[in-house]
Every structure is written in C-alpha cells, then in structure tokens.
Amino acid sequence: MSISQGSPTIKFGREFPFYTAVADQTVKVRLMGAEDAEAMLAFGRSLPEEDLFFLRVDITDPDVVAEWIRHIKAGNTVSVVAESNGEIVGYANLHYQELRWTRHLGEIRIQVSPAWRGRGLGRLLLREVFQVAQHLGLRKIVARMASSQRGARVVFESIGFEAEALLADAVIDSHGRTQDLILMSYDVTGFVT
C-alpha cells in the first residue's frame, strides 16, 4: 500500500489528506506512512507515563514504530493520524488479519494527546477508521481497555460500542495493582456515518 502525502489520494473510499475543524482549530487528517516514524516517536514521547503504560506496544521505541510501519506496508494495519501545526496530536489504528476464522474482525487502538482530549478528535479518528473497516468489508470491531480508562470507555460508548466481556484482574499497572480488562465491540455493518 503506497501512501501519498502530497496531493490528495483516494484510499479506502475516502480522500486523504483532508482538513477539518476540531473545536476551534484545524487539523489535517491523513494516513500514516514510513515518513512518519520520527513524528510518531515524538508523539509517543510526549504522552504521560500512565497513557503509555496501557498501550499494547511501546511507541517510544524506534524498533516498535518500525514494526508498526512494516504492518502498514504489509496491509494488516491502517493508521489514521491527526496533525496540528505539523505535529501528530492523535491516531487511530485498525488492525486486521486474513486468518480464515477472524477475517471479519478488526481491532481499534486509539491515542489522543492530552491537550486534545474532550474536543472531539477521538470521535473523529474513530469515525475514520470505521469507514476504513467498512471499506475493507470487516463486520465487527473490538477495543480493549483497562477499567481505569473511563474517558476512553465513554468515547467508545458514545458511538455505540458495548461492553462484551470483562476479564477480572487481567491488567497490572506499574505499581503492581491489578485492574479489570474490558473488551468492547461494535457491529460495523450497522454503523451510520
């Protein structure tokens, strides 16, 4: 999958990049590519420790970001990023595989800079990856979060995700305290933009 950052390109049934207002500022929304490695590392390193702890991978590690980009190139991850003033301020990933028994399933992972939370950026990024999921023919999207991530849960619930499973004490934080892991899901085929 080649990603053009120059002129607009149609990908996944959508023109990228595009500009939109979020609260009182304009953001550029585009697909992530190999040229974004340093910008993503800078974004990761700007996040508070508690945000980094609950990510599935360490996005402050250059090797991890390089692996992320390999997944994008391989076609089993689509990453939509939001930029403001040339810096990444949020992203949403859609991970999917072509295994026969889970080829209908995708997983969303999302992170928004603390300064941009509560402004609608997370919802915008979720909407974009939903459209990508629909374009790819995925039927169900899941998201995982620790029970302490209340803000994330509220955002996902606000667009129709429902808690599907709770794994008691499945997450352990940096202080050795356990938390429940919540699995939320959404039927993509019923999503209305």
Distance of alpha carbon 80 from alpha carbon 75, whole angstroms: 14
| 158 domain-assigned | no
Task: Report the domain count for the chain.
Answer: 1
Whether omega before 48 lies within 30 degrees of 0, making that bond cis, reads no
**Residue 154 or residue 3, greater confidence:** 154
Q: Which domain holds residue 30?
A: 9-141
Quick: pLDDT tens for 93-124. Answer: 999 876 666 778 899 999 999 999 989 999 99
Residue 5 has pLDDT above 60, yes or no: no
- Sheet containing strand 77-84, edge to edge, reads 18-22, 25-31, 77-84, 87-96, 105-112, 140-146, 178-187, 162-172
pTM of the prediction? 0.86
**Residue 53 or residue 153, greater confidence:** 153
Distance of alpha carbon 67 from alpha carbon 175, whole angstroms: 28
Chain-centroid distance, C-alpha 45: 17
| 189 domain-assigned | no
| 1 domain-assigned | no
| 148 domain-assigned | no
CATH number at residue 35: 3.40.630.30
Distance of alpha carbon 29 from alpha carbon 84, whole angstroms: 9
Query: E strands within 43-147?
Result: 77-84, 87-96, 105-112, 140-146
| 191 domain-assigned | no
| 61 domain-assigned | yes
**Residue 101 or residue 151, greater confidence:** 151
**Residue 4 or residue 186, greater confidence:** 186
Question: Which two three-digit tokens encode residue 14?
Answer: 């959508």
Residue 178 has pLDDT above 70, yes or no: yes
Are the CB atoms for 52 and 44 separated by under 8 Å?
Answer: yes
| 84 domain-assigned | yes
